[in-house]
Structure 1
C-alpha cells in the first residue's frame, strides 16, 4: 500500500513537471530562433545600405534606369540586390531533428533519473522505518542519520549543479540530476525533522518550527536555482510526509505547524516565480489536510480551527493581496484563480464550523468565525480583484447563523416543516446568538459598502461582487435568525429589525444615487440599484414578520414589483434577474403551501384570502413584465409573464375548488360541475392567451395557450367523458330539464371550445383548430344525449336504468336537431368543421334509426323516427342545394324570358 502511494505521488509529480519543462524548452527555442532571424535581417539591411552609399546617384536630367516591366524582363539589370544569406536551420527544427530522444534514450537519461531520485527519497524513509522495526539504533541516532543522508543528497545535487558549465543558468533539462538529488534530500529532511518532533520528542515546538522553516527556505532557494521541477516534487513530498511517517500518538498541532511552514514556503515561491500551479497544488493539499484535522474531538477541533485560519491568512496575503498591491481600481478585474482558492478555504471553514457545532465545542468557535470573517473582509478591502472575499465573509456569517448549536428538542408548535424544524432548532444562547449574527453580517456589509463607495472606477463585475456582499448577508442572516428563533411565527421585534435594515439600505441607495454625477457613473449607479432592491426586500421581510406567514408570498411578489421598478428606473441589468429570482422564490413558496393563507381562507366565493394570495402576485408579476419589457424582451420578462399566467391559472382553479368543496380548496375528490368549470376556465385561458399572443407575439403566451388547451382536452375526456360522467358514475343531477348540472358541466365548455376554434382559424395550425372544434362537438353531443336521458329519468340517469321506446325516438330527434344546428352554424360562419360534425351526427342518427329503431322500437315511435329522419335529410339536402352549392340562374330566367333551355 505504501509503495503504491509513493508510486502515485512520483507519477503525479512527473506528469505535472514534465509538461512545464517541455513548454519552457519550446519557448526558449522559439526565442532563439526569433533572435537569429532578427540578426540576419539587420545584417542584410546593413549591407544594402553600404552598397547604396558608394553607388553614384543618377543625374537629374537622366531617365529612370528601367520601367517596372523592364525590370521583370531583365532580372540581370544593374539594380542593387541585397545579398541573400544561406539558409540556416531553425533552432527549433534543429532541436527536434537532432536531439529528439528515442525510447531507449528516454529510459536511460530521463526515466532512470526520475525513478532514481524518488527511490533515494523513499529509501531514506524506509531505512528509518526499518531501523525502528528492528530496534537497531535509538531515536537520536535515527534522526541524525536521516539528517546526514538528507544533507548528503542536497550537497551532491548542489555540487553537480555547480559542475554544469555547459548549460546556462536559466535552462533546466527535463531530467536534471542535480534537481532530482536536491528534491530527494529535501523530502528526507522534512521527514526527519517532523519525526524528531512528533514521534520522538527530541526537539520542542519552537525548535521544530525553526528547523522546518529552514527546510522550507532551503527548498524555496533550491527551486529558484533548479527550476519548477524541484518545487513541485518538494511540495508534494512535503504534503505526503505525514502519511509516510506515522505515529501511535498523532499530534495535530505539530501537523498544523508543519503545514503552515510548507504552505508559506510554497506560496512565497509561487509569488516570486509566478508559478500559479504551485499555489493551486498547495491550496488543494491544505484543504485536504484540513478535512483530516476536522474531527469532533479535542484537540483536533482546535487544531483544525488554527489550520484553517493560518492557511486562509497565507493565501490571502500571498495569493490575493500581494499580486495586486499596485493595481488601480480601473485594472481590478476579478482574479478568478485567487477567488477559487479563497472559495475552497471558505468551504473548509464552514466544514470545520459544522464539525465544531455538532461536537458541542465551547464558545471558542465564535472567535474563530469572527477571525475568519475579519481576514476575508480585510482581503476584500485591500485587494479589489479579490472582492469575492467579502462575499465569502458573508457566507461565513450565514453559516454561523445556521450552524449555531440549538436546544435539544424543537418547539412543539413550530410552523416549519418537521425536517426543517429538526435542523433549525432554537439557539441555545439567545442573548449571544442574535447580537453576534446581526453585528457580524452588518460589519461585512459595511466593509463592502465602504469599499464600493471608494471605488468609482471599479469594473462592473468587481463592483457587483461588493454590492452582493453589502446587501445579501444581512438579509439572509436576519431571515435565518427569524426562522430559528420564532419558528416562522409573527414577531414585532423582527419586524422592527427589518424596518431598520430597510431604512439603512434606502439611505445607502440615496447616497449612491446622489454621487452618480453627470453623466452617471456606472459603479454608483449599480450600487444605488442594489441597495434600493435590498431596501424593498427588507421591507417585505418586515411585513412578513409583522403579519401572518401567509403574506410571505404577497410580500415577495411586491418585492419583485419594486425591484422591477428600480431596474427600469435605473437601467440596471442585474436587478432584472433579481426580480426573476424573487419570482422563483414566490413559486417555491406556493409549492410549499399551495393554499398560502392557511386552512381558513374564508367561506365567501371569490372574495376570500385566495384572491389575495394568488391575485396580488398575478397582478404584481403582470406589472413587472410590463415594466421590464420597456428595456427589451429578455429572460426576466418571460419569467414574469410565466409567473403571471401561473398565478392567474392557480387563482382560477383554486377558486373553483373552494366554491365546489365548501371552502376547502385541497379537499379530496371532485364532481361534474367542478370538472366542467375547470374545462371551461382552461379553454377561456387558452383563448385569452391566444389573443394576447396575437397582439404581442409572446412565446410565453403561445406555449401557455397550448398547455391550457391540452389541460382542457384531458379534463373533458377523462373527467367529463369518463370519471364524472353521470351516466357511468350514477351521481344524481341537480336542477330541472334546462337549468341543471349538465349546463355547467357540458354546454358552457362546449361553447367556449367553439369560440376557441373560431378565433384560432388561420392563426394556429389546422390540427389545433380541428381539435378545439372536435372538443366542442363532443361536449355538445354529451350535453344533448344526457339531457334527453335526464328528461325521461329525472336526477338519476345511470346506465342500469331501462330505456323506453319514446326515449329512443327522442335520442334520434335530438341528434338530428343538433345536426341541423351545427349545419346552420357551419353555413352561417363558413365553418367546414361544423358542417362535418353535422354530417357525423346525421349519419349516427341514420344508422341508429335503420339498425336499432327498426327492430328495437315498436309502434308509433318507430314511424316517427323514420318520418323525422326523412324530413331532416330532405331539409339538409335542400340546404346544400340552395345555399352551399347553389348554381347561378340563367340570364333568360332572371329576365323573365321563359323556361331556360338546355341540353
Structure 2
C-alpha cells in the first residue's frame, strides 16, 4: 500500500512538473511571437516611412542599370515621445484566444486594471436582480407553512384558528400584491406583485389541503370545491398579476382532484370539473397568448382521461362523461386554446391522443354500443375539423385506422352489432372521402381512405366470420365484389375530372379494385385459377391505363403481372408444373396447366406489345417467351423440349418480315438461355471429364453423354443458332454472344461424336488407341484451321483452331501421355509408327500459324524455336527407344546398345542443331547445340565409358572426339564469319 501511495504521489508530481514545463514553453513561444518593432520605428513612423522607398529602390536595382544618385534626406524635426494607444481586445477575442499567463506588453498596468471583467454583468443580473425577488416569494410561502407548523408544534392555537390565520395570511399576501400593483410608479418591478400573489395562492392551497387531509375538518367534496375556487382565483389573478399565478392555477387545478382525498371519486362530477378547469385554462392561454399554459392544461387533461379509463369499472353515466371529456380535450379545447401557425400541429397531436384514449375507452368498456357511439362522435369531430381546416385532413386516416383496429380486436362480436358498427364506419369515413376526393383540395388522403375502407373492412369481416367452408367461400367472394364497387365508384366519379391525371388518386382506386377482384377469385374459384385471374386483372389494368391516359395505372398492372408470374410456381401444383421446364416428369393436369401458363404468357405478350414502359416491354417479352415455353412443356414429352427451344430461335428471328430480329431480341435471349440450360448438363459432364484429363486421367467415351443427348442438346441447337446468325441481321455483340455459344456447343458435340466413333471405353483400349485418337483429332483441328484460312479467310477462327491443336498436342501428347513415360502404343514398324505424325503435326501447326500471323510468329520466335527443339529431342529419343522396345516404349530395361545409342544420338542432334543454327543465323540453336554436346560428353565420360570395354569404349571415344572436333571447327568458322 505504501509503495502504491508513493507511486501515485510521484506520478502527480511528475504530471504537475510536466504541466508547468508546458506552460513555461507556451509563455516563451508567446513572447517570441508577440515581439514588437523597435522603439524608433514606433516613435518616428514618418522618418521610417520616408526611408522605405529608398531602400526598395536600392534592392530593385539591377547590375546593368546605372547607379542612381543618392538624394539628400530632408531634415525632419523630432517629435516628442508619444505613447501609442493601447489596443484592447474584445471579450469575444479574449474568449476565443488561448490562455496567456503573462500580461500583454502592449497594455499598460493602468489599462489592464481599468479593463472591466467580462462575466460581471451576467452575474449581477442573475443573482442581484432576478433571483432575489422570486426567492423572496418562495420564502414567504415557506414562512407561512413554518408559521402553521410552529403553531402546531407548540400547541398555541387550535386547528380552526390556525387555518383561519392561514387563510388570512394568504389573503393578506394577495392584498399586498394588489398594493404593489397600485404602487407601480414607486416599485417599478412587476415581479414584486407576482411573487406576493404566488405566495398567497400557494398558502391558500396549503390551508385547504391541511384542513382536509391533516385535521379532517372538511370533507373531500368541500375540499374539492375549495381547491377549485382557489384555481379560479389563481386564473383571475393571472389576468392582473401575470403568468406565475396562472402556473400555480394550472398545477393546483389539475392536482386538486388527487389532493382532495376522496377514495371513490364521482366520475361525472370530476369530468365536469376537469372540463371546466381545462377549458378555463385554455381560454386564458388564448387571451393572454400563453402557449405553454394551453399545452400544459391539455397534457394534464389527457393524463386524467387516461387515468380514469385505466381504473375501469365505468358505468353508463361515467363512460359518457369520460367520453365527452376526451372529446372536449381532443377537439374542442385545442380550438379554444391555440391560434396561429403552431395551432395546427397542436390540434393534430391532441386529436391523435384523443383517438387513442377513445379506443381504450371502447376496449375497456367491452365494445358496448354506447362506446362505439362516443367513438362515432369523435369521428364526426375529426371530419368536421378536417373540413374546417384542410391541413387537418391527415387526422381522418388516424381515426379510420383506429376504428378498423378496434373492430379487428373486437372479441366475438355479435353479427348484428358488428354489421351496424361497420356500416357506421363506412358511412362516416367513406361518404366523406368520396365527397372530397375529386373536389378542390382532394388528395391522396381521401383516396387512401376509400381503399382502406374497402380492403380493411373486408379483412376485419373475414377475420371474425370466415370459417373456410364452401358457403363462406361464396359469401365472402360476393362481399369482396361488393367492396370492389367502392373504389370503382370513386373511379367513375372522377373519370371526367380533368385533374385526376395530376396525382395518383385514380391509380389508387384502380389498384384497390384490382386487389379486391383477385381476393374474390381467391374465395370463389379454385386455387389453381389464381394466376389466370391475376393475369386477366393485369391485362384489364393495361387497357384501363390506355383508356384513362394515365400511365400510373400501367405501373399497377406491372405489379399484378409479376404476381401472376410468381403464382405460377407457388404450391405443389406450381412446383410440379415448373419442374417440367427442366425435364422433370412429375404428373400434372395438362389442360389446367396449359390454361395457367398459356394465359400468363398471353398477358405478358400483350404487355410486351402494348405497354408504354420501354424497359418493361423488354422484361415482358423475355418473360412471355419463357412462360410460352413453359406452356408447351406442360403438353409435350420432356425429350422434345430441348429441340423445341432450339427451333424457337430461328422461328422467332424469321417470324415476320416486318419485325427485325432486334425487336425480338429479349425473346431470343430468353430462348438462348433456355437452350444453354438444356446444354448445361452435357457441357458440365464433358467439362468434368475434361478437367480430370488435365490431371492425366483418360477421357473415355463411356463416361461422356450419349449420342442422343449430344444431338438434342448440343449439336442441333448449335446448328440452329449458327443458321440464325448467318441469315439474320444482328449487331456485333449479339453475333459474338450467339457465336460463342454455338461454337462451344458445336465443338463439344463434335468432340463427343469423335470420342464415340473411336469408342475408347477402357484403359486397355486407351493404351492401344489413345495416341492414334489424339493424333487424328489434332490433325482434324489443324486441317479445319487451314481450310478456314485458305477458303473462308477467317483468320481469327483459323488461329484459334491451330492454337487449340497445338495446346492439345503439347499437353496430352508431349506431357501427360508421352510414349516415353506413359504406356501408349506407337506401332512396331519404325517407318509406319505413330511417332512421325504425332510429332510432325506440332511442327506443321507452328509453321502454319507463322504463315497466317507472321507478326505473332516474329514476336514469339524464340519460344517457337524452343518448342521445336524440345519436340525434335523427344521424337529422336522416342524413335531410338522404339528400335529396341517395339510398340510400348515405357519398358523396365535399358539395353547397353540403346544407352550408347542415346549418346551418339545426342551428339548427332547437337551437330544438327549447330548446322541449322548456322544456316538460319539463329544463335539459340547454336547454344542448344552446345548444351546438348556438353550433356553428351558428360554422359560418355561419367556413365558410358565406365561400363564399356574393348572396341565399344574405343568407338565411343572416337565418335565423341570426331564430333567435338567437327563442332569446334564449325563454331570457329561461324564465329569468324560473324566477326567479318
Alpha-carbon contact 1:505-1:534 (below 8 Å) kept: yes
Per-residue deviation, 1:475: 2.6
Number of positions where the alignment pairs a residue of Structure 1 with one of Structure 2: 708
Q: Aligned pair 1:464/2:444, yes or no? A: yes
Q: Which residue of 2 aligns with 1:346?
A: 355
Q: In the alignment, which of 508, 511, 520 is matched to residue 542 of structure 1?
A: 520
**1:569 and 1:334 mapped to 2: Cα distance?**
44
Q: Aligned pair 1:390/2:390, yes or no? A: no
Per-residue deviation, 1:877: 5.0
Residue 848 and residue 110 in structure 1: after superposition, are their counterparts in 2 closer, same or farther (change >3 A)? farther
Per-residue deviation, 1:356: 3.8
Per-residue deviation, 1:402: 1.7
Q: Which residue of 2 aligns with 1:867?
A: 837
**1:598 and 1:851 mapped to 2: Cα distance?**
50
Residue 804 and residue 468 in structure 1: after superposition, are their counterparts in 2 closer, same or farther (change >3 A)? same
Per-residue deviation, 1:445: 0.1
Alpha-carbon contact 2:133-2:195 (below 8 Å) kept: yes
Q: Which residue of 1 aligns with 2:125?
A: 105
**2:174 and 2:625 mapped to 1: Cα distance?**
78
Per-residue deviation, 1:124: 9.6
Alpha-carbon contact 1:293-1:301 (below 8 Å) kept: no
**1:816 and 1:128 mapped to 2: Cα distance?**
123
**1:389 and 1:247 mapped to 2: Cα distance?**
37
Alignment of 1:80-91 (within 5 A): none
Per-residue deviation, 1:102: 1.1
**2:152 and 2:568 mapped to 1: Cα distance?**
67
Q: Aligned pair 1:441/2:410, yes or no? A: no
**1:571 and 1:551 mapped to 2: Cα distance?**
30
Alignment deviations for residues 7-60 of structure 1 (CA, whole Å, 9 cap, x no partner):
xxxxxxxxxxxxxxxxxxxxxxxxxxxxxxxxxxxxxxxxxxxxxxxxxxxxxx
TM-score of the pair, normalised by structure 2:
0.52
SS at match of 1:102: helix
Q: In the alignment, which of 459, 475, 496 is matched to residue 479 of structure 1?
A: 459
Alignment deviations for residues 376-405 of structure 1 (CA, whole Å, 9 cap, x no partner):
334334544322233223213321332121
Q: Which residue of 1 aligns with 2:331?
A: 316
Q: Which residue of 2 aligns with 1:852?
A: 816
Q: Aligned pair 1:499/2:514, yes or no? A: no
Alpha-carbon contact 1:401-1:480 (below 8 Å) kept: yes
Residue 606 and residue 377 in structure 1: after superposition, are their counterparts in 2 closer, same or farther (change >3 A)? same
**2:152 and 2:633 mapped to 1: Cα distance?**
81
**1:180 and 1:750 mapped to 2: Cα distance?**
103
Q: Which residue of 1 aligns with 2:708?
A: 739
Q: Aligned pair 1:402/2:368, yes or no? A: no
Residue 250 and residue 323 in structure 1: after superposition, are their counterparts in 2 closer, same or farther (change >3 A)? closer
Alignment deviations for residues 117-154 of structure 1 (CA, whole Å, 9 cap, x no partner):
78989999999999999999999999999988877776
**2:153 and 2:758 mapped to 1: Cα distance?**
104
Alpha-carbon contact 2:788-2:798 (below 8 Å) kept: yes
SS at match of 1:859: coil
Alignment of 1:210-221 (within 5 A): none
Q: Which residue of 2 aligns with 1:429?
A: 414
Residue 847 and residue 299 in structure 1: after superposition, are their counterparts in 2 closer, same or farther (change >3 A)? same
Q: Which residue of 2 aligns with 1:48?
A: none
Per-residue deviation, 1:430: 3.5
**1:160 and 1:270 mapped to 2: Cα distance?**
25
Alpha-carbon contact 2:771-2:834 (below 8 Å) kept: no
Alignment deviations for residues 446-488 of structure 1 (CA, whole Å, 9 cap, x no partner):
13323446xx3x33xx533233323421332113322442256
Alpha-carbon contact 1:559-1:582 (below 8 Å) kept: yes
Alignment of 1:259-658 (within 5 A): 260-261=275-276, 263-272=278-287, 295=310, 298-299=313-314, 310-319=325-334, 335=344, 338-350=347-359, 356=364, 365-405=371-411, 427=412, 429-452=414-437, 456=439, 458-459=440-441, 462-486=442-466, 491-513=473-495, 516=497, 520=498, 531=509, 534-549=512-527, 555=533, 559=537, 562=540, 566=544, 569-570=547-548, 629=612
SS at match of 2:708: coil
Structure label with greater radius of gyration: 2
Alpha-carbon contact 2:689-2:703 (below 8 Å) kept: no
Alpha-carbon contact 2:170-2:203 (below 8 Å) kept: yes
The 10-residue stretch of structure 1 (273-282 or 433-442) with the greater mean CA deviation from structure 2: 273-282
Alpha-carbon contact 1:784-1:815 (below 8 Å) kept: no
SS at match of 1:387: helix
Alpha-carbon contact 1:853-1:865 (below 8 Å) kept: no
Residue 500 and residue 790 in structure 1: after superposition, are their counterparts in 2 closer, same or farther (change >3 A)? same
**2:814 and 2:377 mapped to 1: Cα distance?**
94
Alpha-carbon contact 2:577-2:634 (below 8 Å) kept: no
Alpha-carbon contact 1:397-1:437 (below 8 Å) kept: no
The 10-residue stretch of structure 1 (176-185 or 473-482) with the greater mean CA deviation from structure 2: 176-185
Q: In the alignment, which of 787, 799, 806 is matched to residue 769 of structure 2?
A: 806
* Structure 1: runs of 5+ lacking an equivalent: 1-96, 326-331, 406-426, 663-671, 686-691, 888-903
Alpha-carbon contact 1:334-1:387 (below 8 Å) kept: no
Alignment of 1:834-845 (within 5 A): 839=803, 842-845=806-809
TM-score of the pair, normalised by structure 1:
0.55
Residue 523 and residue 678 in structure 1: after superposition, are their counterparts in 2 closer, same or farther (change >3 A)? closer
**2:801 and 2:137 mapped to 1: Cα distance?**
91
Residue 301 and residue 464 in structure 1: after superposition, are their counterparts in 2 closer, same or farther (change >3 A)? farther
Per-residue deviation, 1:166: 8.7
Residue 851 and residue 820 in structure 1: after superposition, are their counterparts in 2 closer, same or farther (change >3 A)? same
Per-residue deviation, 1:850: 0.3
Per-residue deviation, 1:334: 12
Alpha-carbon contact 2:205-2:227 (below 8 Å) kept: yes
SS at match of 2:707: coil
Alignment deviations for residues 191-243 of structure 1 (CA, whole Å, 9 cap, x no partner):
998999999896677994x7676666656555666667776786578778889
**2:507 and 2:474 mapped to 1: Cα distance?**
28
Alpha-carbon contact 1:267-1:315 (below 8 Å) kept: no
Alignment deviations for residues 725-747 of structure 1 (CA, whole Å, 9 cap, x no partner):
689999x9999732227964899
Q: CA RMSD in A?
A: 7.3
Residue 436 and residue 276 in structure 1: after superposition, are their counterparts in 2 closer, same or farther (change >3 A)? same
Alignment deviations for residues 838-894 of structure 1 (CA, whole Å, 9 cap, x no partner):
73574244221101221424214896587367447736753773589899xxxxxxx
Alpha-carbon contact 1:750-1:776 (below 8 Å) kept: yes
Q: Which residue of 1 aligns with 2:696?
A: none
Alpha-carbon contact 1:549-1:597 (below 8 Å) kept: no
Q: Which residue of 2 aligns with 1:408?
A: none
**1:275 and 1:800 mapped to 2: Cα distance?**
102
Residue 233 and residue 207 in structure 1: after superposition, are their counterparts in 2 closer, same or farther (change >3 A)? closer
SS at match of 2:706: coil
Q: Identify which of structures 1 and 2 has the higher relative contact order when contacts are C-alpha pairs closer than 8 Å and 6+ apart.
A: 1
Residue 770 and residue 211 in structure 1: after superposition, are their counterparts in 2 closer, same or farther (change >3 A)? farther
Alpha-carbon contact 2:476-2:523 (below 8 Å) kept: yes
